[in-house]
Each structure stands twice: as structure tokens, then as C-alpha cells.
Amino acid sequence: MEVQHPFHSQHLLLAQAMDGHEFTSCAACAFSINGIKIGCNECDFQLHVSCANPNKCALKRNSHEHNMYYFVDDDTRRSFECDNCHEECLADEAFYRCVECDFNLHLKCIPITSVVTVTKKHLHPLTLIESVNEDNPLIQYLMDSNDKLDDLMDYYCDDCETSGNPKHHAYCCKECIYIAHVECIM
């Protein structure tokens, strides 16, 4: 089955079994692929099955022609160089990556602002948090002061209403329970 994929929008991608001697690396995470690849027949582009289904929201910035996607070191096996500051995107440091053209930016180099005061999406200011989990003092505070605990544990983005990875950055309201993907607010 051929699929249209946002990481490689110019051609259709096809799931293919790799033969044992073939060595190829995934365009998204740069780690080698064994077994099944989701690849392009027209050029040298292939993805892991898991990387082809990243369940990520796209970040659209005027400064880059393609969509960019959130990556952390956990998602990759190779460090990528930031195209703004030319330093590596190191462990635990989240970055946005355009898989189509191998273009990477640290959050700080985009830049993603730490507090968003005015948006059309929410009436209160939104604060950037590094992760949505109980260790986060802000989340702890919200859990202590609210009974919407289950909503919080499930972390659904209050903007697009799809799930979010609690280990990823998000925007959060200090005045009410509101959590949203970075991509949905920027």
C-alpha cells in the first residue's frame, strides 16, 4: 500500500521488506533499519515503520518552507546539528526537525517563547513547560488544586483534542486546566 507521508511529500512511500545485506538508515531518526522499511522508489529516502507513524503535530513556521516536527534525543540515535547555532542537539534537548531536508533547530533557536500572553486560543497567558508529568511543580500545583486529575493524566491537547506525549514540551495555563501542544499554540 502506497502512502502519502508528510516527511516526504513529493513521492508516495511504500512498505518494503529489506533483504539481509541491505544497509540503510532512517531519514527521521538516522538509525539503521532492519526488516521492514517505508521507502521511496524514486529516491534514497526511507523510514522505520515506527518513525513513519510519529503521531506528532506539525510546527509551521514562515521561516521554513516545510513542516517541522518535535524530536528529543530519545527519538534519535544520532545527534543532529542545529542549523541556527551550529551546535549539536544533545541529550534531553528537544529540537524541531524537518525530515524532508534534514533541517534542525533547537527550541531556543526557533525561538519558542516561554510565556505566550495573547493567543486567540485561550484567554489566559500560557507557560511553556518541559514535560507534562507529576514532577513538574506546575502540574503538581494544578493537581492539588483541581479535581480534574484524570484529564490531566490522560493529557489531551485542549486545542486540537488529540493526545500529547507527556514527556514533550507543552503550553500550560497557570490559571485553569489547559494544556496544549506547542505546535497548536505557536
Contact residues toward Zn ion (CB under 5 A) are: 11, 26, 28-29, 40, 42-43, 45, 48, 51, 66, 82, 84-85, 98, 100-101, 103, 106, 109, 124, 157, 159-160, 173, 175-176, 178, 181, 184
DSSP state of 7: T
Opening angle at CA 19, ends 17 and 25, nearest 5: 80
The residue (of 9 and 140) whose beta carbon lies closer to Zn ion is 9
In single-letter form, the type of residue at position 78 comes to R
Question: Measuring CA to CA, which residue among 139, 87, 93 is closest to residue 112?
Answer: 93
The residue (of 85 and 149) whose beta carbon lies closer to Zn ion is 85
User: Nearest approach, Cβ of 8 to Zn ion (angstroms)?
Assistant: 6
User: Nearest approach, Cβ of 54 to Zn ion (angstroms)?
Assistant: 9
User: Nearest approach, Cβ of 21 to Zn ion (angstroms)?
Assistant: 20
User: Nearest approach, Cβ of 149 to Zn ion (angstroms)?
Assistant: 17
Cβ neighbours of 43 (radius 10 Å): 10
* Contact (CB, 8 A) for 97 and 103: yes
The residue (of 61 and 66) whose beta carbon lies closer to Zn ion is 66
Question: Measuring CA to CA, which residue among 25, 30, 133 is closest to residue 75?
Answer: 30
Residue 49, classed as helix, strand or coil, is: helix
